[in-house]
Amino acid sequence: MTETKTAAAAPKAPRAKTAKTVDATVTAFPNFEAFNMPKMEIPAATREMAEKSIEQAREAYSKLKTVAEDATDLMEDGFETTRRGVLDFNHKAVDAAKSNTDATFQFVKDLFEVKTLAEAIELQTSFARSQFDAFSAQAKDMQELSSKLAGEVTETFKGAVEKTTKDFKAA
C-alpha cells in the first residue's frame, strides 16, 4: 500500500483592514478595465431628438389607448343592445307559445263538451281560423321585433366602427 501525504496548508496572511468610509473616486472594480465605463458626452441634438421621439411615442400610445378604450365601450354597448333585443324576442316567443298552448288546451276542453259531429266540425273550423289569425299576428310581431333588433344592432356597431376608424385616423 502506498501512503498519501497531504501537505499542510500554509496559514494565510491576514488581510489588511480597510477604512469604513469609501472615497468617491474609488470604483467597485479598480483593477478591471472591462468594468470601467468610458465617459461619453451625448450631443445636445441627439438628446433632444431622443426626448422628442419618446414624447411622440407617449402621445401615440395615449391616443391608441383612448381609441381602444372607446372601441371597447362601444362594443360593450353593442353587445348589451343585442342581449336586450334577444331577451325581448325570447319573451315574445315564450308568450306566443303560451298563448297557443292555452288556446289548444281550451279547444280540447271544448271538444270534450260537444254533443254532435256538426258541433265538433264547427268548433274545429273556428279553432283553425282563430289559430291561423293568431299565428299570422305573432309572425308579424316577431318579424317587426327582429327587424327592430337588427336595426338597433346595426346602428350600434356601425356607429362604433365609424367612431373607431375616425379616432384611429386622427391618432
Condensed to tens digits (0 to 9), the pLDDT of residues 91-146 reads 999 999 999 999 999 999 999 999 999 999 999 999 999 999 999 999 999 999 98
97 domain-assigned: yes
Task: Tell me the H-state helices in the chain.
Answer: 44-112, 117-170
pLDDT of residue 40: 75
What range defines the domain where residue 112 resides? 57-170
* One-letter amino acid of 162: E
Q: Which of 24-33, 75-84, 162-171 has the lowest mean pLDDT?
A: 24-33
44 domain-assigned: no
pLDDT of residue 82: 85
CA distance from start to end of the chain = 87
All three cell numbers of 21, joined, read 468610509
48 domain-assigned: no
Q: Total domain count for the chain? A: 1
* Measured CA angle at 167 (ends 51, 64), to 5 deg: 40
> 64-88: per-residue pLDDT in tens?
888 788 878 888 888 888 899 889 9
Contacts of 57 (CB under 8 A, 6+ apart): none
16 domain-assigned: no
- Say if residue 171's pLDDT is above 80: no
